[in-house]
Amino acid sequence: MTTIALIEDNEDLRNYTALFLEQNGYTVVQCEDAESYLETNTTVGLFIIDLNLPEMDGYSLVKSIRASDPGAAIIILSARDWDGDIVKGYELGADIYLTKPTNPAVLLSTVRRLTQRHAGLNAEHIGLSVNRVTQVMHFDQASCPISGSELAILYRLSIAGARGLERFEMAEVLNLDLDQGSRKAIDVRIVRLRKKLASLGCAKSTLETMRGYGYRLNLPMRITS
């Protein structure tokens, strides 16, 4: 069963949420702040993060986790219900943004859905997969290595789905400013990714250029570990 990191500074809420999740079969690592989590050495499959944390806030933690682990499953659970906060949470890499108070049944359903997706329980419908530990991409019986930046790009494209990613979003994934130099850097990575996808036998349309917009991944993908 998935191990969950619960980063919440409200002790009562943290204890209650952890107990509820543990009663439903999950192992929960409780952390009162971001620093406490960063000091742990536990392998975590899913994160539940409050935004109003002392010292390092939840936004910064989400960004840090997403940068170091592109395949992580991240839920923001926050009392902030302003649209700007929600948008920022998604832009920094959260998979789901829930507002407090959240019905425990809704939280449990969300956790189950995310763990299923990230564990690849529907792998029979997915031809492309990437191991985030070995950084090896697989399609059918073929495989090839990819770089950390290529993994980040593929993950964000897979999350974006049919909407795709605009060029400025691609630049953010690579921690670049959207200038002429970064455009070239993005183009170089896209060319390399296309060559690697082609070497695996993927169709030319797998990584599509959306003229005047950005790029779209037209093949379901799962991240494994």
Span 191-207, pLDDT tens digits: 999 999 999 998 888 99
pLDDT in tens, 128-141: 888 888 899 998 88
Backbone φ and ψ for 150, nearest 5 degrees, come out as -65, -40
Tokens for 195? 């060559």
Tell which residue, 117, 146, 128, 137, has the closest CA to residue 46: 117
In this prediction, the residues of the chain whose per-residue pLDDT falls under 70 are 1, 41, 68, 118-127, 225
Tokens of 207: 């990584």
Do residues 223 and 154 lie in contact, with contact meaning Cβ atoms separated by under 8 Å?
no
Q: 24 is written with which tokens?
A: 């439903």
Rounded to whole angstroms, the Cα distance separating 43 from 145 reads 23
Quick one: pLDDT at residue 122? 40
Domains recognised in the chain with CATH numbers = 3-119 (3.40.50.2300), 124-224 (1.10.10.10)
**173, 160 contact by CB (below 8 A):** no
b/e per residue 8-31 (b: at least 16 CB within 10 A): bbeeeebeebbeebeeeebebbbb
Question: pLDDT per residue over 11-27, tens digit each?
Answer: 999 999 999 999 999 99
Paired residues of 77 in beta bridges: 98
Q: Which residues pair with 128 in a beta bridge?
A: 139, 221
